[in-house]
């Protein structure tokens, strides 16, 4: 039995104009699938039936939801029809090349009942999106939604980038040169709510303090999987518990039925994570699938979890909770290595 949700996010697509190193959902331009308006209606009806009005509401996100603006607007309207409050729509502002177009799209959403926009700003986004576009989005959003309706995630990064080249993208290494690794590590580790699941483990693990797998063996994830009150819904209708990208509890297009009748015996990896813990998952993966631990260690328990799941997904398709399977193909990338002067220091 799953605890009713007080908040959640609807991923309209995993498709994105960027391919951020830290992306929890492995988004990129390679993805094709979008959530159909019909399926969005079913998910929103289910949310309404299963969780009432939702205390904190949902957010509409991606991928980059503005890549299909008519669909985003339609889903915003359906949420209002179903009395499910939309807390905000999330954007990376990559599409904000023109001030009047940006303002027009925000105004249409506002007229459809939206009260706030969340605009992403981070060293990872800045590798793909010039800060000028982020500033265009912020200006238009302030005019349309007012100061209360503009959430910048994270404002400290935007302040830093406003002092760099605003017309062009900024590679991560240039950002580190400009502000120093220690400052960057401090903000990213403490103010960004980084989760080591998704692409981060494969690309920027070495930026963080790493621990051996045994460090996480005692963790059981029953709260994250069933009782967090927070979930995400993807374009296939997958119910993704909390922030456990790549795990599906089932088809959220009939959410009340799924929440009431979830049979975890049919989801053996989920059952293992919830009841036995990560140590058991690790031992099973080594024993049955020849899993080799990451040589440098893991950022957090979710990095260990996703690393094991990715390996299992490459060996078998028999675990239907590993969904969408394409997620596991999309969470690779070039590995960041600390410059020599830094790599010999303890990373904290
Ligand atoms: S370790 Fe796995 S199951 Fe547990 S919270 Fe992280 S992603 Fe979810």
For 69-103, the pLDDT digits (tens) are: 999 999 999 999 999 999 999 999 999 999 999 99
The verdict on the CB of residue 301 being under 6 Å from ligand 1 is yes
224 Cα to the center of ligand 1, angstroms: 7
pLDDT at residue number 76: 98
pLDDT at residue number 340: 64
The verdict on the CB of residue 249 being under 6 Å from ligand 1 is no
76 Cα to the center of ligand 1, angstroms: 29
pLDDT at residue number 53: 66
Q: Which residue ranges in the chain fall short of pLDDT 50? A: 341-348
Please give the angle made by the CA atoms of 157, 160 and 163, to the nearest 5 degrees: 145
What is the C-alpha separation between 171 and 183, in angstroms, rounded?
A: 16
Q: How far is CA 310 from CA 36, 202, 215, in A?
A: 27, 11, 20
Whole-structure pTM value: 0.95
The verdict on the CB of residue 240 being under 6 Å from ligand 1 is no
pLDDT at residue number 155: 94
- Judged on CB neighbours under 10 Å (0-12, 13-18, 19+), 262 is middle
- Judged on CB neighbours under 10 Å (0-12, 13-18, 19+), 144 is buried
H helices then E strands: how many in the chain?
15, 7
Please give the angle made by the CA atoms of 299, 269 and 258, to the nearest 5 degrees: 110
What is the C-alpha separation between 197 and 214, in angstroms, rounded?
A: 17
Residue by residue, DSSP assigns 12-61 as SBSB-S---TT-TT--BTT---B--HHHHHHHHHHHHHHHTT-SSEEEEE
Residue by residue, DSSP assigns 229-277 as SEEEE-TT-BEEETT-TTB--SBGGGHHHHHHH--GGG-HHHHIIIII-
Of 301, 304, 321, 323, which is best to mutate to test ligand 1, by the most ligand atoms within 8 angstroms of its C-beta?
301
* Helix (H), strand (E) at residue 142: helix 131-145
The verdict on the CB of residue 273 being under 6 Å from ligand 1 is yes
300 Cα to the center of ligand 1, angstroms: 10
Contact 72, 60 (CB under 8 A): yes
Would you state the structure tokens that stand for residue 45, as one six-digit string? 């009806």
Q: What atom of ligand 1 comes closest to residue 246's alpha carbon?
A: 7
Q: Catalogue all structural domains in the chain, each as residue range(s) with its CATH number.
A: 7-206 (3.20.20)
């Amino acid at each position: 039995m799953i605890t009713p949700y007080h908040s959640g996010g609807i991923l309209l697509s995993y498709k994105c104009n960027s391919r951020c190193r830290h992306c929890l959902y492995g988004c990129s331009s390679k993805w094709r699938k979008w959530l159909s308006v019909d399926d969005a209606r079913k998910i929103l009806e289910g949310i309404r039936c299963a969780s009432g009005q939702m205390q904190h509401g949902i957010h509409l996100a991606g991928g980059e939801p503005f890549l299909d603006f008519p669909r985003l607007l339609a889903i915003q309207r359906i949420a209002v029809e179903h009395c499910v409050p939309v807390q905000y729509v999330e954007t990376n502002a990559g599409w904000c090349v023109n001030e009047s177009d940006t303002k027009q799209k925000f105004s249409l959403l506002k007229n459809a009942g939206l009260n706030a926009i969340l605009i992403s700003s981070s060293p990872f986004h800045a590798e793909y999106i010039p800060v000028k576009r982020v500033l265009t989005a912020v200006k238009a959003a302030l005019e349309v939604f007012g100061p209360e309706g503009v959430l910048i995630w994270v404002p400290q990064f935007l302040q830093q980038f406003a002092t760099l080249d605003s017309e062009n993208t900024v590679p991560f290494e240039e950002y580190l040169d400009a502000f120093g690794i220690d400052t960057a590590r401090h903000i990213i580790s403490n103010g960004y709510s980084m989760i080591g699941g998704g692409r981060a483990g494969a690309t920027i693990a070495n930026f963080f303090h790493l621990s051996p797998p045994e460090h996480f063996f005692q963790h059981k994830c029953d709260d994250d999987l069933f009782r967090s009150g927070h979930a995400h819904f993807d374009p296939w209708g997958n119910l993704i518990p909390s922030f456990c990208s790549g795990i599906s509890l089932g088809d959220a297009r009939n959410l009340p039925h799924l929440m009431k009748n979830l049979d975890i015996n049919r989801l053996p990896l989920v059952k293992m994570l919830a009841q036995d813990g990560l140590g058991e998952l690790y031992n099973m993966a080594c024993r049955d699938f020849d899993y080799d631990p990451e040589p440098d260690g893991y950022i957090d328990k979710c990095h260990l979890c996703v690393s094991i799941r990715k390996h299992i997904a490459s060996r078998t398709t028999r675990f239907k909770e590993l969904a969408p399977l394409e997620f596991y193909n999309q969470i690779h990338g070039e590995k960041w290595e600390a410059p020599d002067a830094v790599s010999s220091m303890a990373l904290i």
